[in-house]
Amino acid sequence: MSQEQIKEEIRALARQRNALILAHNYQRDEIQEIADITGDSLGLSMEAARTECDVIVFCGVHFMAESAALLSPEKTVLLPRADAGCPMADMVTAEGLREMKSRYPDAPVVTYVNSTAAVKAESDICCTSANAVKVVNSLSENEVLLVPDRNLGRYIAARTDKTCHLWEGYCPTHDRLDAESVQRSLNEHPDAIFMAHPECPPEILELAHHICSTSGMYDYARSHSAKTFIVGTEAGILYRLRQENPDKEFILPTAQLICPNMKLTSLDDLLHCLQTMSPQITVPEKIAAKARITLDRMLAVPRD
**Binding residues for ligand 13P (CB under 6 A):** 25, 40-42, 86, 114, 128-130, 171, 197, 199, 213-214
Least spacing, CB of residue 225 vs ligand SF4, in Å: 29
**DSSP letters spanning 235-304:** GGGHHHHHHH-TTSEEE-S-TT---TTTT---HHHHHHHHHHT-SB----HHHHHHHHHHHHHHHHSPP-
When binding is defined by CB under 6 A, the residue of 65, 205, 262, 298 that contacts ligand SF4 is: 262
CA distance 213 to 56: 23
41 vs 181 by CB, closer to ligand 13P: 41
The 8-class DSSP code of residue 142 comes to S
261 binds, among ligand 13P, ligand SF4, none (CB under 5 to 8 A by kind): ligand SF4
When binding is defined by CB under 6 A, the residue of 70, 117, 125, 259 that contacts ligand SF4 is: 259
Based on the shown chain and the rule CB under 6 A, indicate whether residue 177 belongs to the binding site for ligand SF4.
no
Inter-residue long-range contacts of 224-229, CB under 8 Å, 24+ positions, other chains counted: 224/193, 226/191, 226/192, 226/193, 227/191, 228/189, 228/191, 228/192, 228/193, 229/192, 229/193, 229/194, 229/195
CA distance 100 to 122: 11
171 vs 182 by CB, closer to ligand 13P: 171
Stretch that binds ligand SF4, among 128-136, 171-179, 264-272, 278-286 (CB under 6 A): 171-179
Least spacing, CB of residue 15 vs ligand 13P, in Å: 27
When binding is defined by CB under 6 A, the residue of 61, 119, 281, 283 that contacts ligand SF4 is: 61
For residue 115, which phi and psi values (nearest 5 degrees)? -160, 160
126 vs 270 by CB, closer to ligand 13P: 126
Least spacing, CB of residue 162 vs ligand SF4, in Å: 24
Radius of gyration of the chain (CA): 19
Contacts to ligand SF4 by CB under 6 A: 26, 61, 86-88, 114, 171-173, 234, 259, 261-262
